[in-house]
A and B are shown apart, each in its own frame.
Chain A
């Protein structure tokens, strides 16, 4: 799979309160209109100087790719976090490392690919730069510099996200005999 687009760049320890602040947790992700609304508030908890991820009133971001440092998604177990990013149109987060529950929620929901990269991309890629990810080749190409970085393999998790989440994956393989 190839994912190309503009990157939005963040630092270390972006926690779930910054990804989706608690006042929006009254929205229920499985209700379609509220799923869409969650997208509108994606990354609304970033300190003021870092905002601009979402245009005012927009439901879709101009940045389908997030680049971050260590421990992305730390904090709460709220599934609203990967859901808000996915609903806003984020396809992939490339980070130096992920917090465990956020990583698992990305896979379970199939909302986006949480991909690790040992290179500290958040210090070389700038917000707005175009990057191209090739998940099969496990590479990220930073177009402005022509640089190519190796990504850590997602392994079996990629198949689950490709399928659209853990239920869709299990059902497609006959592992779940309901519905």
Chain B
């Protein structure tokens, strides 16, 4: 019997020829990522359990990316980055992206990819639920807690249950008014926020094959919003081109066997989809933008690991060019690389930065997680009252962006930009000829 892509990665990392869903196996870990919110606690567990003088399992497999609470006056947050810095120095870690230096990157899931830490066939664990983003590179990637991460820091291994795989076949050419975000919001709406709990979500089909790495990251990023253990897309020429430009570390590509066993199969014709939103307060409260068009909004937000990549801003600029926003519009590039590219990338001859400025958006924030998850009270874009927000982020449970009485609509950058112009939820087809 054949194996799925996820099962093959588990088998090789457990040094077995075969694994089956439900098996608990010890796997070797290729990359452990942590950040400023969970890193200090992870280090605390590591030092408590392995000793103050213990060394990490492999220096070049530990990646520290502070990104959550960087641009704040909160002294506790600064203390937490200091704890990461001290640990990086003590352990001589080569991959610490220090906010006090030019090494600073921004949002960990995008930075992991841009800095070459995402590689096909590997196992990447991170102390953040959106670690599943890296599944876009044909690897197994999932979020873990501090205690598990402390164990990995000391041993380089973890006991993991092999997940059954759900197969999502996305076929057809994505229409020009749709983005990867519309596709994944449709899928979550169909299966629910616990529709993939404990399972792998494998995405394939002609639509996925035609997607850029950034689009694939948007899809895999939100596997956790359906409860998935991981999202995964088999590596191909697109993956290889991206990865080999950013790392010289060798990797082994895996593919699902033709006779692999799936928990379930789902076919989606993407040509039939429409611009989508997830309504407050759950990512599975799917509606077409058309169905809720006219709903007044108080602010718009473009940013985060799922919606703050260069292609997300290019899409927003397509709609905002030559137009003006009616509500405060917050732009947070995910990483320094994205931010720098906004000044050099042009749409209709104009740099994206100029387009956003002339449209009346707020000045670009420095790269970080910012208001995607609320955060300290001085966080850029954080909501404090009963605002209605439309956002390219990935989660809209009560209080997610800082206030339990606010309502958050999740949508693609096209839909967010179109809605910002009208001050109300708008189907972006109104602006895309």
Q: How far is the CA of A82 from the CA of B148 in the complex (A)?
A: 14
CA gap between A100 and B399 in the complex, in Å: 21
> Inside 8 A of B400's CB, which chain A residues have their CB?
17
Residue among A31, A99, A176 making CB contact with B44, cutoff 8 Å: A31
Known: A45-B404, A76-B129, A97-B194. A167 touches B227 (CB 8 A): no
B131: which A residues are within 8 A, CB to CB?
Answer: 77
Contact assessment for A28 and B80 in the assembled complex, using a CB-CB cutoff below 8 Å: yes
Contact A99 B374 (CB under 8 A): no
Within 8 A of B (CB), among A68-99: 70-71, 74-80, 82, 97, 99
Q: Mark B131-166, 1 if CB is under 8 A from A, else 0.
A: 100000000000111111001001000000000000
Give residues 150-209 of B contacting A (CB, 8 Å): 151, 154, 193-194, 197-198
What DSSP secondary structure best describes chain B's contact surface?
A: loop
Of B45-53, B232-240, B297-305, B357-365, the segment with at least 4 beta carbons within 8 Å of chain A is B45-53
Considering only residues 46-74 of chain A, those with a C-beta below 8 Å from chain B are: 46-48, 70-71, 74
Chain A residues within 8 Å of B127, by CB:
77, 79
Extra contacts, 11 of them, besides A77-B144, A77-B145 (Cβ < 8 A), are: A17-B374, A30-B146, A74-B193, A75-B129, A75-B397, A76-B128, A79-B146, A104-B145, A108-B148, A166-B148, A167-B147
Q: Please state if B145 and A178 are interface contacts (CB–CB under 8 Å).
A: no
With a CB–CB cut-off of 8 A, which chain A residues contact B50? 178-179
Q: Which stretch of B34-42, B318-326, B344-352 is in the interface?
A: B34-42
* Structural contact, A178 and B49, CB atoms closer than 8 A: yes
Q: Could you tell me if A28 and B374 are in contact, using CB atoms closer than 8 angstroms?
A: no
Determine chain A's interface SS by DSSP, over half rule. Answer: loop
Interface residues contributed by chain B, number (CB under 8 Å): 53
Q: Cβ of B404 and Cβ of A71 under 8 Å apart? A: no
Q: Which 5 A-B pairs have the closest CB atoms?
A: A30-B44, A77-B143, A79-B145, A105-B145, A26-B76
Within the complex, the shortest CB–CB distance from A54 to chain B, in Å, comes to 15
